[in-house]
Amino acid sequence: MMPPEQENGVAPTNQTEPPVSTSNVSPCPEPDRVRFSVLRHSLHPITLKFEDVSYSIKIESGQGWCSSPKPKITRAILHGVSGTARPGELMAMLGPSGSGKTTLLTALGGRLPGKISGSITYNGGPFSSATKRRTGFVAQDDALYPHLTVLETLTYAALLKLPSSLTLREKAEQAEMVAAELGLTRCGNSVIGGALLRGVSGGERKRVSIGQEMLVNPSLLLLDEPTSGLDSTTAQRIIATLRWVARGGRTIVTTIHQPSSRLFRMFDKVVVLSEGSPIYSGAAARAMDYFASIGYEPGFNFVNPADFLLDLANGVTPDPRQEDDDDQNQEFHGRQDDLQSTKQFLIHSYKKNLHPLLKEEIHQQEQQDSTKSSSRCWDNQWTTNWWLQFKVGLLFFFSIFWGFFPLFNAIFVFPLERPIIMRERSSGMYRLSSYYIARMVGDLPMELVLPTIFVTITYWMGGLKPSLVTFALTLAIVLLNVLVAQGLGLALGAILMDVKQATTLSSVLMLVFLLASGYYIQHIPMFIDWMRYISFSQYCYKLLVGVQYSVNEVYECGHGSCRAYDFPAIKSLQIHNMAVDVAALVLMLLGYRVLAYLALRLGHQH
């Protein structure tokens, strides 16, 4: 994909540009735009706002008498931090080590235990499970499987997390693209490694972690020190990547240690923390002007704004007198008490000058956010409604239960009766065909009564289509399914004449039928896929769904209304011609029974 930042001296690779054009970014060629469409745009942009966020922890004071519990003291980690990050923005949190960057990031990711005061909202609402699913979090210590290769790690993430509308191949392609994007192609086949297994370098591990989160196409991406331990070119590339990812409508917040001036220029917003208190929060491009306005300007040879901000966060201020004396060593000075008073002054200035503006900005947006979140239903946890999921599930279990049950019952019939048939037939008591037909007809009432009672109760209780015709069709399909399953059971019993073998074989067959039907697994491998055509459960299930929903039926979904036939579990069934499904079942109904009869006859002759 990208980078982009030509002015930063990073050579563009085979990558494309951000989708939203910015002043320093040129539009990408059309073919790449199509190829990278999955990660290009966020589907559910999130505006993140945090206001007066404070957080304290209780720690043991270290003083206690012998075995008496040590008294606990409260330690404030964050004091009233505010800010906003909108879709398309890349926000950086700067500050000295221990200033609270990770704590704030963890709070924004909804992962901080204990009570946080102040407010953190996502499109005006609290942290919900929907927000959680759309939030990616790259922690400082990456947890990756050491034995997988880089490409395998990314491919598994892609397979598990990318939408089911993509094929396996497309998902694998996305993994490869992200690997290329993060410069991981060369080590794609190297194992990740761990404490006992030498693997890829620390920087590469970090990039794999980032890649994993990027693959899920998060709307909000939070990263803790993504560039730590990386060389400046790689760090540059990663931040440029994050900026590109943000431009696709995502909100990105990252903590960062000592960014170079090139990196600093890529941030849209910065929050600068000093001992948990903010000294700046707002546009990165205006930070220097703000500090100049309160009397802090860098020296004439000062090149990196990030260094300047970090010095201020440490209470170190530029000393104009030193600039003339000794450029090389001492641009700043400060005694301990001076440092403290500088920090206090900066915190005070923030409260006085920036905090009211931020508050205003946060509340101005609030109204827009609440309108947005009420008009859009992206906060729905699922894009399909509960009833549809329930009903499609119920129909599936109709077809499965009334496949297994008669099948396993029927398996026992011939093996158990064999000695009696042999004896009675050898004394010429009856024809095999008359026994066979009588056996089937005799079993019929019991075989059909139970499923009729079952369907009558569950159909109406389950809230399926309240139509007598549909009910009658559903019942007829289930009964047909029962008869087919019974026929298969009879055939297996007659062929094997051994209950144990027949039970094992039918269990395997049924499981293969279920898998081949595609309900549990999609994109079935070719060698097993053909089995769907001999799976009676599949035909039964298709018919049950087919009579339940008409082609143009719609249901309420995350996008307003959606066609039932577009619901993934229904779409994958490919309900085109129900007459073919009925014909297949009828053919099986007769075929299995004829097979059972022939097997009995042959067995008897031997």
Nearest approach, Cβ of residue 103 and ligand ATP (Å): 3
Q: Which of 410, 418, 427, 411 is nearest to 604 (CA)?
A: 418
Closest CB to ligand ATP among residues 234, 274: 274
Q: How many CA atoms lie within 13 A of 343 on its CB side?
A: 21
Per CB under 6 A, which region of 92-100, 174-182, 442-450, 590-598 contacts ligand ATP? 92-100
Closest CB to ligand ATP among residues 57, 283: 57
Nearest approach, Cβ of residue 14 and ligand ATP (Å): 34
337 three-class SS: helix
Q: How many CB atoms lie within 10 A of CB 151?
A: 21
Site string for ligand ATP, 16-45 (x = CB under 6 A): ------------------------------
CA separation for the pair 498, 414 (Å, rounded): 9
Closest CB to ligand ATP among residues 99, 481: 99
Residues contacting 552, CB < 8 A, separation 6+: 563
Nearest approach, Cβ of residue 205 and ligand ATP (Å): 17
Residues contacting 473, CB < 8 A, separation 6+: 547
Closest CB to ligand ATP among residues 77, 175: 77
**What Å distances lie between residue 545 and 310, 393, 523, 529, 571, CA to CA?**
63, 10, 20, 21, 11
Closest CB to ligand ATP among residues 108, 540: 108
Q: Which of 16, 12, 11, 19 is nearest to 1 (CA)?
A: 16
Closest CB to ligand ATP among residues 100, 109: 100
Nearest approach, Cβ of residue 161 and ligand ATP (Å): 27
Closest CB to ligand ATP among residues 142, 361: 142
Nearest approach, Cβ of residue 85 and ligand ATP (Å): 18
Burial-class residue 453 by CB neighbours within 10 Å (0-12, 13-18, 19+): exposed
The residue written with tokens 């070719």 in the block is 526
CA separation for the pair 228, 239 (Å, rounded): 12
Strand partners, 138: 223
Residue 74 as a binder of ligand ATP (CB under 6 A): the answer is no
Amino acid 542 reads K
Per CB under 6 A, which region of 91-99, 280-288, 374-382, 421-429 contacts ligand ATP? 91-99
Closest CB to ligand ATP among residues 63, 552: 63
- Enumerate the H helices of 497-535 as residue ranges: 499-516, 526-529
User: Which pair of structure tokens corresponds to residue 135?
Assistant: 């939030």
Per CB under 6 A, which region of 93-101, 200-208, 332-340, 386-394 contacts ligand ATP? 93-101
Nearest approach, Cβ of residue 307 and ligand ATP (Å): 15
Residue 254 as a binder of ligand ATP (CB under 6 A): the answer is no
Closest CB to ligand ATP among residues 87, 100: 100
Q: Taking the alpha carbons of 533, 538, 542, 543 in that order, is the dihedral positive or negative?
A: positive
Residue 356 as a binder of ligand ATP (CB under 6 A): the answer is no
Of positions 14, 26, 29, 59, contacts ligand ATP by CB under 6 A: 59
Site string for ligand ATP, 95-124 (x = CB under 6 A): x-xxxxxxx---------------------
Residues contacting 604, CB < 8 A, separation 6+: 421, 422, 425, 432
Residue 259 as a binder of ligand ATP (CB under 6 A): the answer is no
Closest CB to ligand ATP among residues 98, 442: 98
Nearest approach, Cβ of residue 339 and ligand ATP (Å): 17
Residue 79 as a binder of ligand ATP (CB under 6 A): the answer is no
84 three-class SS: strand
Closest CB to ligand ATP among residues 99, 251: 99
Nearest approach, Cβ of residue 240 and ligand ATP (Å): 22
Nearest approach, Cβ of residue 257 and ligand ATP (Å): 6
420 three-class SS: helix
The residue written with tokens 């279920």 in the block is 514
Residue 271 as a binder of ligand ATP (CB under 6 A): the answer is no
Nearest approach, Cβ of residue 326 and ligand ATP (Å): 30
Q: What is the 3 state secondary structure string of 3-63?
A: CCCHHHCCCCCCCCCCCCCCCCCCCCCHHHHHHCHHHHCCCCCCCEEEEEEEEEEEEECCC
Nearest approach, Cβ of residue 258 and ligand ATP (Å): 10
Closest CB to ligand ATP among residues 63, 97: 97
Residue 77 as a binder of ligand ATP (CB under 6 A): the answer is yes
Q: Which of 451, 437, 513 is nearest to 479 (CA)?
A: 451
User: Number of residues in contact with ligand ATP, rule: CB under 6 A?
Assistant: 13
Q: Which residues bind ligand ATP (CB under 6 A)?
A: 57, 59, 77, 95, 97-103, 255, 257
